[in-house]
Amino acid sequence: MTEHDTTSEPSAADGAGKLALLARQSLSGEPTRRDMASFAKIDARMARTQRQRRTAWASATAVVALVAALVVLVTRTRALTYQVVNGAVVEGSRIVGGPSTEVRFSDGSELALDPGTETRIAALDARGGQVSLDDGAAHVKIAKRPGAAWTLAAGPYSVRVTGTAFLLSWSKRKQAFEIAMKSGSVVVSGPLIGAGIALHAGQRLHSDVGTGRLLVDDGSAPEVSAAPAPAPSSAAVGIPVASLFPASPAPSGPALEAPVAAHAGGLEWRKKAAQGDFGDVIAAAERRGLDATLATAPLDDLAALADSARYARRAALAKRALLAERSRFPKSGAARDAAFFLGRIAEDEGGGASEWYDRYLTESPAGAYASQAHGREMMLVYQQRGARAAQALAAEYLARYPSGAYAGTAKKIGAELGSASGE
């Protein structure tokens, strides 16, 4: 038998063990150190790539957002523009209206100027602008937009607007201001008004700087029906200006005991009335003595007292002051205007208004309150006596004031008579 050296050649068992070890290393899922290092490099590279992608995406998103914000900002901050159409004299920002001139703004707002009306576009921005009506009349339509802000100046008056339509006029020669609301609301400030009066659709405000007169009219016109409406009650017509101004309380205490020189009011009374201090004017007249004031006070004092009493709803005192104006100063403009205000008081009291309105129209056919006196007289005649009795007044009103506050009622009266004759 031949013997073999077991130390020089591996046994079958040793070979099988090595194969098993290699198999475990390849199938166990435990990478070698070299593989671990490679995996770490791959992970780092992938992480860098993901960070780069996230950074690039964030940068792109930021750029898009910035561009969008810039577009919105430019759109919002771009000033409005305007064009003048239909025959006008244009000298820079100054515009003189022709037969049918319109100023059209890029936000949809419009000014329709009466012939000869002088206006200036003082400033424009993205939200609105400042327009000055130097003389004449303009039909104003301001587009409703979020954040809209417009200011229209008419002589010494200012109208703050956000979105509405109204007729605005200022007479440089007469120093008379008027605004008639069609829709929306505005705030008007200026002489005789003070901090401001809010006006709404259907209301009209007239202010005469020269005579110190202020009138706020609700412009209401009743619907025409087949049967005449009953006579108006004290609450049926008009809005007293006192509801828009807080009347100052009458002075009390030591102030009442202070001596007052005869007729010391003068311009001070008119100023107080213009500022809405109606209580102060009335209290001063009472300290002086109402009978003595009515009998001896100058016209300016009487006018200030009459206005203050009307606005403070002291109808009896207002009536006495207005009658004193007419009896003591019959040829004055204030005395003629007093006829209209006496008509308003009579209308609130329920009788006698038509006679006063007719008297005012006879004395002042082209006066500041002529259109209102004519319209109110027409309404009262219709309410009390029917469409047939008001026919002539309605036709005359339309001929003289085709766009007046009572034109709608005048047309309905004519339509009612037309339908009645066609039956």
Q: Which range is most confident: 46-60, 62-76, 293-307? A: 293-307
Query: What is the mean predicted confidence (pLDDT) over 24-51?
Result: 50
Apex 197 CA angle, 195 and 198, nearest 5: 130
Rounded distance between C-alpha atoms, residue 68 and residue 71, angstroms: 5
Rounded distance between C-alpha atoms, residue 61 and residue 385, angstroms: 76
Rounded distance between C-alpha atoms, residue 327 and residue 322, angstroms: 9
**Per-residue confidence (pLDDT) for residue 86, from 0 to 100:** 82
Count the alpha carbons within 13 Å of 67 in the hemisphere toward its beta carbon: 6
**Per-residue confidence (pLDDT) for residue 9, from 0 to 100:** 45
**Of 141-145, 173-177, 243-247, 317-321, which gets the smallest average pLDDT?**
243-247
Q: How far apart are the first and last CA of the chain?
A: 153
Q: What percent of the chain has pLDDT over 90?
A: 17
What is the pTM (predicted TM-score) of this model?
A: 0.45
Rounded distance between C-alpha atoms, residue 7 and residue 119, angstroms: 123
- The answer to whether 398 and 411 are in contact (CB under 8 A) is yes
Structure tokens at 81: 């523009």
In the chain, what are the domain boundaries?
A: 84-210
- 401 — pLDDT class (breaks 50, 70, 90): confident
206, pLDDT greater than 50: yes
- The answer to whether 83 and 107 are in contact (CB under 8 A) is no
> Where does 78-145 have alpha helices with state H?
none
- 338-359 tens-digit pLDDT: 999 999 899 888 888 889 998 9
204, pLDDT greater than 60: yes
- 43 — pLDDT class (breaks 50, 70, 90): low
- The answer to whether 215 and 206 are in contact (CB under 8 A) is yes
Query: What is the mean predicted confidence (pLDDT) over 4-21?
Result: 46
**Of 11-25, 121-135, 176-190, 362-376, which gets the smallest average pLDDT?**
11-25
More confidently predicted of 308 and 423:
308
Which residues are CB-contacts of 22 (< 8 A; sequence separation ≥ 6)? none
Which residues are CB-contacts of 229 (< 8 A; sequence separation ≥ 6)? 222, 382, 383
**Per-residue confidence (pLDDT) for residue 45, from 0 to 100:** 57
Provide the mean pLDDT of the chain: 74
- The answer to whether 109 and 150 are in contact (CB under 8 A) is yes
90, pLDDT greater than 60: yes
Structure tokens at 58: 């964030």
Q: Give the closest residue to 345 by CA, choosing from 360, 333, 330.
A: 360
Does domain 84-210 fall under CATH 2.60.120.1440? My reply is yes
Please state the separation of Cα 172 from the chain's center in Å: 23
